[in-house]
Amino acid sequence: MLSIGGKEIVVKALIQSIPTYVMSLFQMPQSLITEIQRLFARFWWGSNEKEWKIHWGSWNCLCSPKHSRGLGFRDLIVFNRAIVAKQCWRVLTNLDSLAAKVLRGYYFLGGDFLQAYSQPSGSFLWKSLVWGRGLIEVGTRWRVGRGTSILVYQDRWIPRPSTFQVISPPVLGEMITGSQLKNPSRG
């Protein structure tokens, strides 16, 4: 019989870490995550096949941070998307890695990872990366520099928190880049 503190350590350090490797590469099905969280809750509240115990709090409450009166357990859906997004970030930042080269050659040849689309015939890994990429897209913006790669009317590059994009209609054409906006007479 484990104490509450012992159960907390078992759930956080052992049980929740077991699916981490698979979750870092693939989007786990919602039904599987729900079943895993149901098993966590049964373990936490002391239920087993012979005896059912009352669950005095929802799993969402148990996943809340401790300063919000939760226990700080991982919400596996949020965790799954976060670590798949971490793999997406590695593809974006390590262009010379083998994984980035293989993905670029097969799914976004000559294009950009952020603009590549999910193909119906794409692998489960690719579909999972596109799902995780959505989290990256929410928090990323271009750093202007020379502006040769930034599409003025399509990319998120303006430091304005509402849309981070130009909202006026395109005057100079939709495919204009940031470098084309510079006035050469001003230097």
Q: Domains of the chain: which residue ranges?
A: 1-140, 141-187
The per-residue pLDDT for range 54-95, each reduced to its tens digit, is: 777 777 888 888 898 888 888 889 999 999 999 999 998 998
**What pLDDT is stored for residue 150 in this prediction?**
79
d(CA 40, CA 60): 12
CA 110 to chain centre: 24
**What pLDDT is stored for residue 187 in this prediction?**
42
Contact 36, 59 (CB under 8 A): no
d(CA 185, CA 31): 61
Half-sphere exposure for 46 (CA within 13 Å, toward CB): 8
Residue ranges of the chain with pLDDT lower than 70? Answer: 1, 47-49, 160-162, 183-187
Half-sphere exposure for 88 (CA within 13 Å, toward CB): 28
DSSP string for 122-159: S-HHHHHHHHHHHHHHHH-----TT-SS-BTTTS--SS
Can you name the residues that pair with 151 across neighbouring β-strands? Answer: 177
**What pLDDT is stored for residue 89 in this prediction?**
93
Q: Is the pTM of this model over 0.85?
A: no
d(CA 81, CA 76): 8
